[in-house]
Structure 1
Amino acid sequence: MPPAMTDLLDLWVEPGLDGDDQVTVDFLLPTGVYIKMDVSRQSSLQCIKQMLWKQAQGYPLFTLLGEMDSHIFECVNQAAVHEELEDESRRLCDVRPFLPVLRLIARNCGRAERLLDSKIGVLIGKGLHELDALQDQEVKDFRSKMQRISEENMQCVHMMSWGEWLQSCFSPQIEAGPVNGYCDGSEGEVKIIMHYSESRYRPTCTQVHTCVWEVHSQFKITLVKGIKVNAEETAKVQVRAGLFHGTELLGKVAVSSESSGRSEHVWNKALEFDLSICDIPRMSRLCFAIYAVMDKVKKQKSTKSVCLFKALYPIAWVNTMVFDYRGQMKTGDITLHTWSSFPDELEEMLNPIGTIQTNPYRENATALHVRFPEYSPQPVVFPPFDKVCTLNYDGMQHDIQHRGKKFYVELKEIMERDPLSQLCENEKDLIWTLRYDCRENFPQSLPKLLLSVKWSKHEDMAQLQALLQIWPKLSPRDALELLDFNYPDQYVREYAVNCLQDMSDEELSQYLLQLVQVLRYEPYYDCALTRFLLRRAQANRKIGHFLFWHLRSEMHMPAVCVQFALILEAYCRCSVPHIEVLKKQVEALSKLKAVNELIKLGTIKTKKMKEAQLKDAMMKCLRQTGFIETLSDLHSPLDPQVLLAGVNVERCRYMDSKMKPLWIVYNNKLLVGDTMGIIFKNGDDLRQDMLTLQILRLMDILWKEANLDLRIVPYGCLATGDRTGLIEVVSYSETIANIQKNSSNMAAAAAFNKDALLNWLKDKNPGDALEKAIEEFTLSCAGYCVATYVLGIGDRHSDNIMVRSTGQLFHIDFGHILGNFKSKFGIKRERVPFILTHDFIHVIQQGKTGNTEKFGSFRQNCEDAYLILRKNGNLFITLFALMLTAGLPELTSVKDIQYLKDSLALGKTDEDALKQFRQKFDEALRESWTTKVNWMAHNVAHPS
């Protein structure tokens, strides 16, 4: 960190390592007077304003200021934007302006509204004035609608009794009702129903328009020019454009001519597409790729001749919708600011799965100017839903019995394939022809039917919409697949969301991570999924809590920051009582981040500083009044039903890894004498861990549904910001490495001590308790063997496998999944499908070498667990597919998910799959010595 940034950090953080409580602040008054004054970092803004007012009395023009309460402070915050500090109870060290300068400005009218806006802006990490400044009609319409809804629902809340209000806020099992809004209080149950109406924008009666189905011209646009194109001077620049519906390319890609120049390239030529206007689907997106074309020389070894070929180098990409959020076809000139980071393996360099938002960082982004023509004197609009359904040319329903058993067998085989299986054109034609038979016999196969629709024919699209109205309701788990990017049609997505209405709050919480991520696929701010999530979050504060954190943790991402800010604002306006609770959590995380950064600075500044001195400095920081107040009596972000009482400073520490995570210990009010621990990480992306733990939790649920309890320990993990987050400390647990090291004098020999683990369990579970502990170990070991194999969890060593004193084994640290195993010198470090060492088997067999009955029971549990997961293979594939655009390093394409298909042996019979698993089980046993060698090397490299 540069010295200037270090100084700024020391300026606002309360004194921890060597800081002083006072800071010099420049105050700018509306009269033009400038006052420099020393104030305490811990002083509230109200207190500082009173001090300033007293000081200003001795300066000219004081009488022009008027009343003190008619002014507020303004600063430039850490995000380099102006922030009006309406909430004057905040302390200076919590505000942390970018520079020690506060400007006094006149307070506008509507103080209560401005105070709420200020609180929401600070809470969500984006000032609401930034949304005001966008001058985007879609943003304005969405916010206006949400404002109206929030006012209606707050009136509903005010009419509730205290008991009803408490139950709505804190009961985890409140039922969510239908879309139309009302507040219904009945015995033992309270329903708070949000008034989120349909998002189908229709032309008003007075608006003259042309239906898109009446326009039969070919679709075309004019490619005007590109500005700030980052290409070599010798390169030619071209642009490709394609119309997509989901991942399906509608017709051929249009390619521009080559252009020469420096940073600006002018074409001013039409790009024509082989698709009629009338056949463009409502959710079509126009995708562009800018690339450089250069001549390359290739020598032929055999003939020693030289040939020239064209090499293409991608420069930037950008997407835009053909229809706007009101269903009106775009016209006129638009400027698209492009993105320069290309995902791997893009066909034609086009990125249809990418965002339709243009790059907000315009200063250095390549700008592409395009012009949409006017096809009619009136606006061209997509027809409303009722007109779509009237265009149904499909009068004949098909009867599979008249077509013979052959068709049924063929259709059944296609429909039972996993979601990753590709359909050939003949199979798509068969599915479409037998679509009514699919409805009758394979309703859960709707995704495959949707992939068989010719979306470039509006007649087929209309027939599909009509069929969708009579399609049976899918289970919520099956309906999740319809929210994938492959199914962009708004009515399909509304159908899917309607199926999700049947989810209990507990089940919704299980899939909330994916539901937030697929908001990225929604091209318009007001959609069925957004309304569903807001309604359910309002009805259950626990869901609202995690919706808030899943959204806020990605506010730093430019592609979603506006969309997520709008949803966060809407939630906060409808849940005003929740704001203060969340605000305290945000402030607490800010404090922990400040402590972590001070420790990092301390290690950089004073390399010779002893660990004990640095820990003392950390404790000194944590003991300060401001830190104690903020960190105490805090609802845990990991679980809002847990109240973190007070920090047990003496037991807090920082960990010795590169990012210096904080180990924070809390006293537990409910369990006298007990403590709770959380780990704060700053600098590590926890989203992959969060996903893996979510899937482990789901596996646990599926096993329990099949009456198999494998004692999984899915501890809490939550990403809270840009490479920051929290991890739950599992109490009374120890790593395998520490158990082994504590039983041996030599780190190298520790990994080969097969008695260490059993002796540790004996010590923790004396007498009859040992048998129960061994049973817990055996069941949990079976669960994690199967889970780590199916998920391809890598980098397994003795420091990231732990055991609780009660016997439960569990894994931590999921930085490598889906078979992305570490390698050294080109050799894979992990040569076993999963970890099953001889000391594990020694515990399972209760220390008796010949105890084959116990080991046989363990092996049977593994096989049963594996077969249960196979039955739910499509669900796992769907959940990972819904995370493809999250930006996880090891989940970037469908090829990564292929690992799941292989590990679950999808497409094979249960008998063949079980045979494959048994081979992997035997391999894990046979090669377990390699694990021991790896663990020995790890122990030697990490002796402490």
Structure 2
Amino acid sequence: MEGHMFECVNQAAVHEELEDETRRLCDVRPFCPMLKLVTRNCGRAERLLDSKIGVLIGKGLHELDALQDQEVKDFRSKMFRISEEKMQRVQLMTWSEWLQACFSPQLEPGGGATPVTDGVNDKQAEASLKVTMHFDQSQVTTVSRVVFTILYTLSCHQAGVTSTILYTLSCHQAGVTSTILYTLSCHQAGVTSTILYTLSCHQAGVRAGLFHGTELLCKPAVSSESSGRSEHVWNRTLEFDITVSDLPRMARLCFAVYAVMDKVKKQKSTKNAHINKYQTIRKAGKVVCHTQSTDELEEMLNPIGTIQTNPYTENSTALHIHLPDYNPHPILFPPFDKLDGRVKGKQPTSAQHFHIELKEIMERDPLSQLCENEKDLIWTLRYDCMENFPQSLPKLLLSVKWSKHEDMAQLQALLQIWPKLSPRDALELLDFNYPDQYVREYAVGCLRDMSDEELSQYLLQLVQVLRYEPYYDCALTRFLLNRAQCNRNIGHFLFWHLRSEMHMPAVSVQFSLILEAYSRGSIPHIEVLKKQVEALSKLKSVNELIKLGTIKNARSKTKEAMLTKEAMMTCLRQSGYTETLSDLHSPLNPSVLLSGINVEKCRYMDSKMKPLWIVYNNKLLGGDTLGIIFKNGDDLRQDMLTLQILRLMDLLWKEANLDLRIVPYGCLATGDRSGLIEVVSSADTIANIQLTSSNVAAAAAFNKDALLNWLKEKNSGDALEKAIEEFTLSCAGYCVATYVLGIGDRHSDNIMVRSTGQLFHIDFGHILGNFKSKFGIKRERVPFILTHDFIHVIQQGKTGNTEKFGSFRNYCEQAYLILRRNGNLFITLFALMLTAGLPELTSVKDIQYLKDSLALGKTDDEALKQFRQKFDEALRESWTTKVNWMAHNVVKDNRS
């Protein structure tokens, strides 16, 4: 055993080393019933840890070992050393020190705390430690595009340097073997390229551009369109009007090789390829990239594209690049402390009228475009910006002429003395528009002031912007790893946010490196997370069994339900499933221990993907059951984002002393189109409440007493009055939230009410104004759901109770104005998610909906007038909602 181990080919067609012999074969699930005995190459303990980490992150570490990438090797070596030092420090900790390090409890000031001891000799030292626990019960044409980063490390005095980059692009589509030869040369920028491209079309051309973030540094270079059916040849020079010394450190050179079939329509399809920027500055020679397809056809040059090569090489276009060693001497930017003293000189204060104009510009939302005159004004008055509008740093950065090294030097000097921003304001600096390394390091410095709770609130976005970082080893990665390893709750969600996107080629290597680094620095957490991963694998197997059963028995619905439910029960009772699914920390909330499945109460839901409704007994909740929904086949990331924003709205309202009883239930994407949703206890849908109150499904939606009567059944005496107040507050919160976020598809099964009175919305597949329509007609004609039966509850069943309705309306208006004051934060958070691949958040145009719904750019009075008009419209047109609900109830009744 010390010298050998087994290896298999797993379901993902990847070689997996079975180091941990305690694992069951049914958990391993080899592709074929065959194991191979192999010789160990290192110590057993090290191999065992590597194997566990590989299983945990879903990518064998031998795959990382095989990568011939110096940046990967450097990052892993550094993280291995840091993690080893951290684990050595952990082993020397007392129990109380370890508790503080892993779970970061809030320490109460003063004495009187209950001591937490480790049973040794440090009772007095630990007497001041108090752990406070909080329990929250609320529940065809071809276009090939190449984008890569040129990370020039240049001196301001270096100019006229020339280089040659050889690009060979070969395409193996439909056996075509024709070749395009294209020569691109830039005498001033010092870049010369040759592209060999295989293509069969009528006309083809090449476009190239230099970018810093999304800013084009100079005019794009465009070739003529070559005509020909089987062969296209260019031998032409393209020049960029920029010198090498003016290229910013994080510049990207983007190519698009495109084919045009129709001169008028210019239909195109695109493919992306990116060069590993680490190799660009570290060594010369040949680099091979494989393109990645994209449907974004509006702009041929895509500077936001991933820099990762396509791992699926068989069906992708191969790009061969040769980077010659054009300068034997190192070329460096001057470090901060060596900058010319002249750039640090304070500039004179601006005139008063310029100050007023500057103030107006700085108060605009992040989506507002700056004209050239405004950019010049901001840059000229940059010291005024620093002293009077420090939060305006993003606008100053957009005003920098990144194509001038003098301006870059001035900006870097200014960053050293710029006041620290609040973490919320600093988030915007991590967007793709700000690729400069020093800017991003400054932003991360501001984030260090975040509490663990605040960091958890924005962790979803911080993981997404990792893909904008130029290097694997960057300030943001180090910050997240450090905070995650100091607080297990943050580590838990960092792990799942990373692992859920491991299937994406663009981030697979980067995220696996961070996951490996986290695991090595948090070894005690590995087994906890590994059990969750295995449990989710079991649930996926059960879901696949159910899907298979429903297909086989599709003709008989009754037989299908009976046989499939029986098969599900049998599966869940097997010892392998029972052991794996019991006694694990919930991925939705790691502070909740899922003790054991209540098999009799488990079921699957009657929707296309057959989600599992799993019920757990929970000893820590006084014997109450706890429900989770497992989905396999649905992308939960948009729901996760919407619920995160709802939690933030709830927080902002509470900060303003307005508690609107929001129920932001748990939702977590755990893999490729899979994840978990928390079941909110003691709640039912509006549809079910209405249907149980009426014998006729068509009439149920128009019974205005149904909801109030249901609350009366669940509550009596003073409890009813409390439940109506809960309903009033929560209804106000969700009216405002769904309006601001443009949440659509609001049928009566997507709105629920708890027995305590809290109303809440579920299922956020349509956001930002993407309302459903049929035959070109919008099915939802109201800005938000406010029906007369809701008003009937708010008014306690009394038609003339205008006082209660007036309070409800006032809650809505207060809530709306509070969100308006934080409009820039909402825009920033959605902008940071633009490259996540969410179906209804793909461009800045989608975020424009938020700007309009929050009436940004208007005064509070103007905005309040707009909201009041929307409120009246929602009430006036609520009959259309009832008609939609009636149709939904009839369809639902027919299905059952």
Q: TM-score, normalised by structure 2?
A: 0.90
Cα shift at 1:232: 6.5
Aligned residue pairs: how many?
832
| TM-aligned CA deviation for residue 579 of structure 1 | 0.2
Given the superposition, is the C-alpha separation of residues 105 and 320 from structure 1 closer, same or farther in structure 2, using an over 3 Å criterion? Answer: closer
Instruction: Provide the C-alpha distance between the structure 1 equivalents of 2:208 and 2:738, rounded to a whole number of angstroms.
Output: 42
Q: Is the 8 A contact 1:222 1:270 kept in 2?
A: no
1:599–1:618 CA contact under 8 A, matched in 2: yes
C-alpha separation between the residues in 2 aligned to 1:164 and 1:342? Answer: 52
Distance of 2:130 and 2:76 partners within structure 1? 27
Gaps of 5+ in 1: 1-67, 176-184, 192-202, 204-208, 297-308
Q: Indicate conservation of the 8 Å contact 1:222/1:269, yes or no.
A: no
Code of the aligned partner of 2:287: I
Q: Between 253-262 and 673-682, report the one with greater CA deviation.
A: 253-262
Change (3 A) 1:79 1:472: same
Residue equivalent to 2:428: 481
Measure how far apart 1:270 and its partner are: 5.4
Deviation, 1:168, is: 2.3
State how far apart, in whole Å, the 2-side matches of 1:210 and 1:673 are: 63
1:558 aligns with 2:541: no
Q: CA deviation digits over 1:872-909, x for unaligned, max 9?
A: 00000000000000000000000000000000000000
Q: Contact conserved, 1:415 with 1:448, CA < 8 A, in 2?
A: yes
* Aligned counterpart in structure 1 of residue 261 of structure 2, from 271, 282, 294: 294
Do structure 1's residue 417 and structure 2's residue 417 form an aligned pair?
no
Percentage identity across paired residues of the two chains: 79
Cα shift at 1:340 = 1.5
User: In the alignment, which of 711, 714, 736 is matched to residue 686 of structure 2?
Assistant: 736
SS of the equivalent of 2:614 reads strand
* More moved, 218-227 vs 572-581: 218-227
Q: Paired residue for 1:444?
A: 391
Partner of 1:138: 71
Change (3 A) 1:386 1:188: farther
Q: Following the alignment from structure 2 to structure 1, what is the Cα–Cα distance between the partners of residues 856 and 283?
A: 44
The whole-number CA distance in structure 1 between the counterparts of 2:612 and 2:225 is 55
Aligned-pair CA distance for 1:174: 8.7
Report the Cα distance in structure 1 between the residues aligned to 2:266 and 2:664, rounded to whole angstroms.
49
Q: Residue 361 of structure 1: CA displacement?
A: 1.5
Aligned pairs for 1:717-736 within 5 A: 717-736=667-686
Corresponding residue for residue 169 of structure 2: 226
Cα separation, 2, equivalents of 1:281 and 1:749: 67
Question: Partner letter of residue 921 of structure 1?
Answer: F
Counterpart of 2:742 (choices 776, 780, 792) is 792
Residues 908/152 of structure 1: CA separation in 2 closer, same or farther (3 Å cut): same
1:512 equivalent to 2:459? Answer yes
Alignment match of 1:328 (pick from 269, 281, 287)? 281
Match of 1:689 in 2: 639
Which residue of the other structure, out of 310, 317, 324, is the alignment partner of 1:366? 317
Whole-angstrom distance in 2 between the partners of 1:228 and 1:262 = 15
Q: CA deviation at 1:229?
A: 6.2
How far apart in 1 are the matches of 2:683 and 2:826? 29
Q: CA deviation at 1:337?
A: 1.6
Q: 1:318 aligns with which of 263, 266, 273?
A: 273
Which residue pairs with 1:380 in the alignment? Answer: 331
Q: Once the 2 structures are TM-superposed, how far is the Cα of residue 359 of structure 1 from its aligned partner?
A: 1.4
Q: Which residue of 2 aligns with 1:53?
A: none
| 1:729 Cα offset (Å) | 0.1
Distance 1:482 1:134 in 2: 32
SS in 1 for 2:156: helix
Cross-structure match for 1:77: 10
Which amino acid is the alignment partner of residue 535 of structure 1? Answer: N
1:375–1:257 Cα change, 3 Å: farther
Q: Could you say which residue in structure 2 is the equivalent of 1:844?
A: 794
Q: Aligned residue for 1:709?
A: 659
Q: Distance in 2 between matches of 1:294 and 1:370?
A: 28
Determine if contact 1:418/1:874 at 8 Å carries over to the other structure.
Answer: yes
Aligned to 1:48: none
Counterpart for residue 87 of structure 1: 20
The answer for the alignment partner of 1:303 in structure 2 is none
Is residue 596–residue 660 contact of structure 1 (8 Å, CA) maintained in 2? Answer: yes
Matched residue of 1:380: which SS?
coil
Alignment-mate amino acid for residue 690 of structure 2: Q
Match in the other structure for 2:83:
150
- For residues 487 and 285 of structure 2, what CA distance do their matches in structure 1 show? 45
Which AA in structure 1 matches 2:17? E
Other-structure match for 1:160:
93
Contact 2:787–2:882 (Cα < 8 Å) also in 1? yes
- The equivalent residue for 1:809 is 759
| Residues 592 and 174 of structure 1, relative CA distance in 2, 3 Å threshold | farther
Amino acid at match of 2:201: T
Local SS of the residue matching 2:630: strand
Contact 1:219 1:274 in 2 (8 A): no
Q: 1:214 aligns with which of 141, 157, 160?
A: 157
Aligned counterpart, 1:343: 296
Q: Does 1:255 align with 2:222?
A: yes
1:233, 1:262 within 8 Å by CA — same for their partners in 2? yes
Q: Deviations over 1:90-143 (max 9, x none)?
A: 000000011111111223331111110011011000111101111100000000
Once residues 70 and 263 of structure 1 are traced to their aligned partners in structure 2, the CA distance between those partners, rounded to angstroms, is: 58
CA-CA distance at 1:463 after TM superposition: 0.5
Tell me how far apart the structure 2 counterparts of residues 919 and 706 of structure 1 sit (CA, whole Å): 24
**Cα deviation 1:379-419 (Å, max 9, x = unaligned):** 434444434x337535341212xx2x211110000000000
The 1:265–1:843 alpha-carbon spacing in structure 2 relative to 1, beyond 3 Å, is: same
Q: Which residue identity is paired with 1:240?
A: R
Return the match for 1:117 from 50, 56, 67: 50
Q: Distance in 2 between matches of 1:114 and 1:434?
A: 59
> RMSD value over aligned CA atoms?
2.2
Secondary structure, counterpart of 2:281 in structure 1: coil
Q: Secondary structure at the match of 1:115?
A: helix
Correspondence for 2:33: 100
Instruction: Give per-residue Cα distances to partners, 1:170-201, cap 9 Å, x unaligned.
Output: 345599xxxxxxxxx9875799xxxxxxxxxx
Q: 1:72–1:104: 8 Å Cα contact kept in structure 2? A: yes
Note closer, same or farther for the CA distance 1:153–1:734 as it changes in structure 2 (3 Å cut): same
Q: Is the contact between residue 344 and residue 414 of structure 2 (CA under 8 Å) also seen in structure 1?
A: no
Q: How does 1:302-701 map onto structure 2 within 5 Å?
A: 309=264, 311=266, 313-320=268-275, 324=278, 328=281, 331-343=284-296, 345-346=298-299, 349-387=300-338, 389-390=339-340, 392-393=342-343, 395-400=345-350, 403=351, 405-607=352-554, 608=556, 609-701=559-651
Cα distance, 1:690 vs structure 2: 0.1
Q: Which amino acid aligns with 1:324?
A: Y
SS at match of 2:37: strand
CA distance in 1, matches of 2:127, 2:171: 65
User: Matched residues in 2 for 1:548 and 1:365: separation?
Assistant: 30
Q: Does structure 2 conserve the Cα–Cα contact (< 8 Å) formed by 1:764 and 1:805? A: yes
Mapped contact 2:211–2:254 kept (Cα < 8 A): yes
Query: Secondary structure, in 3 states, of the residue corresponding to 1:105?
Result: strand
Distance change (3 Å), C-alpha of 1:261 and 1:605: farther
Residue 549 and residue 365 in structure 1: after superposition, are their counterparts in 2 closer, same or farther (change >3 A)?
A: same
Report SS of the residue matched to 2:294.
coil
Looking at structure 1, the residues matched to 717 and 130 of structure 2 have their Cα atoms a distance apart, in angstroms, of: 50
Distance 1:74 1:229 in 2: 34
C-alpha distance in 1, partners of 2:406/2:641?
A: 41
CA distance in 1, matches of 2:163, 2:451: 47
Distance 2:771 2:306 in 1: 30
Find the residue that maps to 2:399 and give its secondary structure.
Answer: coil
8 Å Cα contact 1:172-1:505 kept in structure 2: no
The answer to whether the Cα contact below 8 Å between 1:476 and 1:502 also exists between their aligned partners in 2 is yes
**d(CA) in 2 for partners of 1:647 and 1:439?**
58
In the TM superposition, structure 1's runs of 4+ consecutive aligned residues that sit over 6 Å from their partners are 260-266
Distance 1:450 1:805, change over 3 A: same
Deviations 1:356-397 (A, max 9, x none): 11212122211233444544232434444434x337535341
- How far, CA to CA, are the matches of 1:264 and 1:572 in structure 2? 52
